[in-house]
Chain A
Amino acid sequence: MTGLDIQNLSAGYGGRPIVEGLSLPPLSPGEVVSVVGPNGAGKSTFLRALAGLIPAKGAIRLDDAELTGLSLADRAKRVTYMPQTLPQGVALTVLETVVASIRATPLGGASFTDQQAVERAYEVLQRIGAEALAGQRLDRLSGGQKQLAGLAQALAREPRLLLLDEPTSALDLHYQLRVLDLAREAAAERGMTVMIVLHDLQAAARVSDRIAVMAKGRLVAFGTPDEAVTPAILAEVYRVSARVQRCDRGVLQVMIDDVLAH
């Protein structure tokens, strides 16, 4: 079996559980799943646990390998997590940071030479339309540009499972859509499973095959955008009264009418 299977995953910080007993139906390679939910729902914790950044209980099978049993270096060959925080301003060029991410630990058995790593890094920057940033130092970039650099670092490792934590929070409209399209493209062309934490439900509906709605560390709903984004679920999870419609072009639209009292 290929793909991702998450069973009964629990994780937290310092003994305090944040995500509890979370299971998802199997995800196939090439599938894009958005993780949505209110602040503090445990979305980032969920992704960090999948990446092995924090200890977790439960089973995470990816392409027939049990991730929880792997060393961090072996796990990093298969999974890459892009954190929500922007990369810090350092005296490295964007190209150098992408090279550094490729060379941090051996990828898939092959050790890259400097030259191969540079070519691959540049190719990734071209793909996300950020090649003009290649020679610029990170400490001289805007927030959005840093976020693109961070995305390039994650994409360059070509993992089987790509975890993006709010990858568009600092981007302008053009790049928001471009980055999400790119995530779709990476999933379709390279057979990656992509999980994206998003706050924008319309963007989530646009980019995802399926959406996971989380609240208070648990899975509230999981399914296609039509199944997961419904007025009932929005009322339950976000405490808002909303209408969900397909516009005349078939794009899912969420209209918020009111904020409900707690």
Chain B
Amino acid sequence: MYCDAVAEWSVLLASLEPAASKAASSATPSRTPDAIAAYGRDVRLRFVAIGGLAVLALCSLLLDVVTGPSSMSPLTVLQGVFDPSSLTTAQQAIVWQVRLPYALMAMMVGAALALAGAEMQTVLNNPLASPFTLGVSSAASFGASLAIVLGVGASFIGADWLVPLNAFVFAFGSVLALQALARMKGSGVENIVLFGIALVFAFNALTALVQFLSSAEALQQLVFWTMGSLSRATWGNVGALGLVLAVVAPFSLLSSRGLTALRLGEDRAMSFGVDVKRLRFLSLLRVSLLSATAVAFVGAIGFIGLVGPHIARLLVGEDHRFFLPASILSGAVIMSLASAASKIIVPGVLMPVGIVTAVIGVPVFLVLIFRNGGRA
């Protein structure tokens, strides 16, 4: 199966070259080339779009790394990334313990949330589905607040990991609950969406209750957590999220045929041989891993899981061979830019990135939708 996907991509790549010979070899040269050539052109444009997004993601990452409150010049920072010995000890600490882990965390959180959102939107057949809108982030916030208020000082596991671990457990649990509902007889995807919205309200109320009962010190931590921030990024949790992303994303891409077929409708996909129940189950499992890990480390960051896939859809359409990679890259770009902006907007102050994604992202999102004639 994996070989299939590799072969498929290599065939697609090979098709970039001999566009002319392909058209010439068609059976009915008078009419066939138009539509088929247009299809080939679309495929090439999508490769270009994905390549462009990859370059943009890299540039945004670099921009994110070189911005910050310290007085180092961008050049010094870049030099320090490739040759740490060129920096003073203090500078090394800034670049290697703060800038790089923050920037990598931002990029990967964006990628993970956008991929999770893209898969959710397809398997739940709802353009509003995302880890944030269906309660995953709220569940994580509740888990984190419980850990902050009640559990600090657990000895068998470091306090640094207790909060994210508890957030993960609740986030993962919330998607499993969605799953259980999806498996129940006779409940359609609409019910899953409604259930997800119910989860948002339930967990928000519970988090508010915990806040109401907590001490002033815990409250401050808790509020900060719910705003979404990259400041908890360490190499340890950057590695953990990177691992999850590296393991999960290939399986997402391998499912792209089935997911594309599912866009035609559940009955159609089944009639074309796609085991929709299994596809949905495995997809939501990937979604739970991705979103639970991401929100566990950075807190509730909305919007990326919703808008990443929408931008990808505008750029490359919904053939999931292109849609999923484009979602990953769009998410990475937006999150890196938001992270850079969070350091620039108020000089010297690191704004919680969750606020930035919403404040800057929403208008951009609206512009994108309206420019496209209301169709995303």
Contact = CB atoms under 8 A, between A and B. Distances in A.
A220 to B, nearest CB: 26
Interface residues of A, number: 52
Interface in A63-105: 72-77, 79-83, 85, 87-88, 90-93, 95-97, 99-101, 103-105
B352 to A, nearest CB: 33
Interface stretch (B56-64, B65-73, B170-178, B263-271): B263-271
Interface stretch (B84-92, B236-244, B272-280, B361-369): B272-280
- Most chain A CB within a 10 A radius of its CB, from B8, B12, B319: B319
A243 B184 CA distance: 49
Interface stretch (B25-33, B74-82, B149-157): B25-33
B217 interface: no
Contacts of B260: 92, 100, 104
Contacts of B317: 91-93, 96, 137
Interface string B291-321: 0000000000000000000000100011100
B267 A114 contact: no
Interface string B1-36: 000100010011001000000100011000110011
Contacts, number: 130
- Most chain A CB within a 10 A radius of its CB, from B12, B32, B272: B272
A43 to B, nearest CB: 15
B39 interface: yes
B303 to A, nearest CB: 20
A104 B8 contact: no
A73 B273 contact: yes
A51 B186 CA distance: 19
A131 interface: yes
B257 interface: yes
Contacts of B346: none
Contacts of B371: none
B206 interface: no
Contacts of B275: 72-73
A245 to B, nearest CB: 38
A82 to B, nearest CB: 7
B319 A100 contact: yes
A210 B35 CA distance: 38
Contacts of B32: 119, 122
A117 B318 CA distance: 17
B272 A157 contact: yes
Contacts of A128: none
- Most chain B CB within a 10 A radius of its CB, from A74, A95, A119, A126: A119
A95 B319 CA distance: 11
B264 A101 contact: yes
Contacts of A61: none
A111 interface: yes
Interface in B206-238: none
Nearest to A107: B273
Contacts of A13: 186
> 8 tightest CB-CB pairs across the interface, nearest first?
A76-B273, A105-B273, A104-B272, A104-B261, A134-B35, A81-B271, A73-B273, A83-B267
Interface of B: 4, 8, 11-12, 15, 22, 26-27, 31-32, 35-36, 38-40, 42-43, 125, 185-186, 257-258, 260-261, 263-265, 267-275, 313, 317-319, 375
